[in-house]
């Protein structure tokens, strides 16, 4: 049965008795109605069968003193408007993260309404069930920046990151109290960090204590360094592993390496922004290293074998086929960026035909002879044909 049923069903009306009926009157009324509506007396009559179920349900509640008291209390609360679902919730739905139907169902299953209200307002206040350390707070996240070389970005590296974060004040050791004094237990919340207030004179609602801000302690003589907060800025260097294949502008998260938490709370996270310095020769395209290599006109036209530098400092030989056009890209396997799965990208080599800025007499004569041998060949003829 749901909480809505408890609030809306009138079991007294179902049995035809008054709200102050004695146990004997309830018993007598149930027996009379049960005989009249028993399914054996009305075979095949669905309405009579439902009526019998309703009567039995009403009797199971009103004949039990404990259940009857809980039922009467609930009816009075709903009738008087004293019940308020947190943050606009409604019976049968979620109210501020609390499933009211489930709470009523659990209470009727054996926990009782005392447990129901304790769970309801513990959850509504955000404390969660059986939470004992109400003052625990997660530490703040910390950000840092590093600048690494292109090679280190490809292969991965370990660098020192300078961080400024909130740590426990060294002067008061995080207590917030001046030397020689100690914080006192908050009298408002008795050290729980939670303050209780009433709503409509019926329910007690828990919230963070306004005097100690949830710490459970108050500082009468604050520390001169941290002004009673117990926290202070600190600078430290942490060795951080930058994974292979990191890109410029990538943000790396390192869990639990930020500011320490308070009162047993978890530490925050460290976020490292990586800047990759450009390389004078190599570039990058996804997991591949790129390079542009100049070749002479005879190498491009006649073909040949050239040597190409690699990122690790070695050389590889690359075969240029005859008739290679300017801008063609060749692939050298396994000379690129290390991937997470252990494989490696390639090195992409783009050839660029070099045009000499000056020619000596013999070279000039050779090129003029070559141009004469081409006859009337116009390399732009096809271009104009397509254009028109």
| CA atoms of 84 and 204, how far apart (whole Å) | 11
Per-residue pLDDT averaged across 288-316, rounded?
A: 92
Between 233 and 178, whose confidence is greater? 178
Least confident residue range of 157-166, 217-226, 286-295, 319-328: 157-166
Per-residue pLDDT averaged across 6-10, rounded?
A: 70
Give 217-245 as a DSSP string. Answer: EE-SSB-TTTTTSSEEEEEEEEEEEEPTT
pLDDT of residue 198: 59
| Angle at 255 (CA atoms; ends 214, 270), nearest 5 degrees | 85
Nearest 10 degrees: CA dihedral of 66, 71, 74, 78? -170
Contact 243, 156 (CB under 8 A): yes
| Banded pLDDT at 81 (limits 50, 70, 90) | very low
pLDDT of residue 225: 81
Per-residue pLDDT averaged across 102-108, rounded?
A: 44
| Banded pLDDT at 105 (limits 50, 70, 90) | very low
Per-residue pLDDT averaged across 102-119, rounded?
A: 43
What is the second-level CATH architecture of the domain 283-373? Sandwich (2.60)
56 φ/ψ sector (left φ>0, alpha ψ -120 to 50, else beta):
alpha
| CA atoms of 304 and 270, how far apart (whole Å) | 52
| Banded pLDDT at 306 (limits 50, 70, 90) | very high
On the question of pLDDT at 150 being above 90, the answer is yes
**Domain segments of the chain as ranges:** 3-124, 136-177+238-278, 283-373
pLDDT of residue 252: 92
pLDDT of residue 190: 76
pLDDT of residue 289: 95
Residue 157, number of CB atoms within 10 A of its CB: 17
| CA atoms of 110 and 99, how far apart (whole Å) | 18
On the question of pLDDT at 122 being above 50, the answer is no
pLDDT of residue 303: 92
Cα 295 to the center of its chain, rounded Å: 52
Q: Where are the beta strands (DSSP E) in 88-230?
A: 94-95, 98-99, 142-148, 157-168, 184-185, 194-199, 203-208, 217-218
Q: Where are the beta strands (DSSP E) in the chain?
A: 94-95, 98-99, 142-148, 157-168, 184-185, 194-199, 203-208, 217-218, 231-242, 251-254, 270-276, 283-285, 288-295, 304-309, 315-320, 329-332, 347-353
Query: Fold identical between 136-177+238-278 and 283-373?
Result: yes
Between 260 and 29, whose confidence is greater? 29
| Banded pLDDT at 7 (limits 50, 70, 90) | low
DSSP letter assigned to residue 279: P
Residue 129, number of CB atoms within 10 A of its CB: 8
Sort 85 into a burial class: Cβ within 10 Å, 0-12 / 13-18 / 19+. middle
pLDDT of residue 113: 42
pLDDT of residue 49: 81
Per-residue pLDDT averaged across 363-369, rounded?
A: 89
What is the second-level CATH architecture of the domain 3-124? Orthogonal Bundle (1.10)
Between 303 and 199, whose confidence is greater? 303
Q: What is the H or E stretch that residue 56 is in? A: helix 46-62
Quickly name the fold that domain 136-177+238-278 has.
Answer: HSP40/DNAj peptide-binding domain (2.60.260)
Per-residue pLDDT averaged across 202-225, rounded?
A: 76
Q: Kindly state the tokens that stand for 256.
A: 């639990």
Contact 259, 143 (CB under 8 A): no
Q: SS3 for 22?
A: coil
Contact 30, 15 (CB under 8 A): yes
CA nearest neighbour of 208 among 265, 134, 97: 134
Mean model confidence pLDDT for the chain: 78
Q: What is the pLDDT of residues 14-55, one digit of tens each?
A: 999 999 999 999 999 988 888 888 777 777 788 888 888 888
| CA atoms of 307 and 319, how far apart (whole Å) | 9
């Amino acid at each position: 049965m749901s909480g809505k049923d408890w609030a809306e069903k009138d079991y007294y009306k179902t049995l035809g008795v008054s709200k102050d009926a004695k146990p004997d009157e309830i018993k007598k009324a149930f027996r009379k109605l049960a005989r009249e509506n028993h399914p054996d007396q009305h075979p095949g009559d669905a309405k009579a069968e439902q009526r019998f179920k309703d009567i039995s349900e009403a009797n199971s509640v009103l004949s039990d003193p404990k259940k009857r008291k809980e039922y009467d209390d609930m009816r009075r609360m709903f009738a008087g408007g004293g019940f308020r679902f947190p943050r606009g919730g409604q019976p049968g739905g979620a109210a501020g993260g609390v499933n009211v139907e489930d709470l009523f169902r659990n209470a009727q299953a054996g926990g009782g309404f005392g447990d129901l209200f304790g769970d309801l307002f513990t959850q509504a206040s955000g404390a969660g069930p059986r939470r004992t350390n109400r003052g625990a707070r997660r530490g703040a996240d910390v950000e840092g920046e590093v600048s690494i070389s292109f090679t280190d970005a490809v292969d991965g590296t370990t660098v020192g990151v300078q961080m400024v974060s909130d740590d426990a004040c060294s002067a008061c050791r995080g207590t917030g109290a001046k030397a020689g004094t100690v914080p006192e237990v908050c009298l408002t919340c008795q050290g729980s960090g939670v303050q209780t207030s009433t709503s409509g004179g019926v329910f007690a609602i828990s919230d963070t204590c306004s005097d100690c801000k949830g710490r459970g302690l108050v500082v009468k003589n604050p520390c001169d360094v941290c002004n009673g907060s117990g926290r202070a800025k600190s600078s430290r260097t942490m060795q951080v592993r930058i994974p292979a294949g990191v890109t410029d502008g990538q943000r790396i998260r390192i869990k639990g390496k930020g500011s320490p938490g308070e009162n047993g709370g978890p530490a925050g996270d460290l976020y490292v922004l990586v800047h990759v310095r450009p390389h004078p020769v190599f570039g990058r395209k996804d997991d591949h290293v790129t390079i542009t290599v100049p070749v002479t006109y005879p190498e491009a036209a006649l073909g040949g074998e050239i040597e190409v530098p690699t990122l690790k400092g070695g050389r590889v030989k690359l075969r240029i086929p005859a008739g290679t056009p300017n801008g063609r890209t060749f692939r050298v396997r396994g000379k690129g960026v290390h991937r997470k799965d252990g494989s490696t990208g390639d090195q992409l080599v783009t050839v660029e035909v070099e045009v000499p800025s000056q020619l000596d007499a013999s070279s000039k004569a050779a090129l003029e002879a070559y141009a004469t041998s081409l006859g009337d060949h116009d390399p732009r003829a096809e271009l104009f044909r397509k254009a028109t």
